[in-house]
């Protein structure tokens, strides 16, 4: 009888504590994001500068050379 009570108590407590843990981790991660990561990112932008992305090209794609369309080219599809 006492063992059954402990099992039921454990089942209820595990559900409640899992929900409590989910709320707690959401709060902790939000605090980490806004208190630690936010000021670090602002400081990084101030030190590195806001225009640091301008020195890189917009794309790394190489322009494709289109072959002349001949009958042999049209037969070879791959």
Q: What is the pLDDT of residues 2-45, one digit of tens each?
A: 899 999 999 999 999 999 999 999 999 999 999 988 898 888 88
Q: Calculate the CA dihedral of residues 72, 73, 77, 78 and round it to 10 degrees.
A: 110
Q: 58 or 2: which carries more pLDDT confidence?
A: 2
Q: How far is the C-alpha of 59 from the C-alpha of 41, rounded, in Å?
A: 25
Counts of helices then strands in the chain (DSSP H, E)? 3, 0
Q: How far is the C-alpha of 64 from the C-alpha of 78, rounded, in Å?
A: 16
For residue 52, what pLDDT band results from cuts at 50, 70 and 90? low
């Amino acid at each position: 009888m006492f063992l059954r009570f402990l099992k039921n108590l454990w089942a209820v407590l595990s559900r409640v504590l899992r929900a409590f843990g989910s709320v707690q981790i959401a709060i902790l991660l939000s605090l980490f994001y806004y208190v630690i990561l936010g000021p670090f990112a602002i400081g990084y932008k101030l030190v590195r500068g806001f225009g640091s992305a301008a020195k890189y090209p917009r794309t790394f794609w190489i322009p494709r050379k289109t072959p002349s369309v001949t009958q042999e080219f049209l037969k070879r599809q791959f």
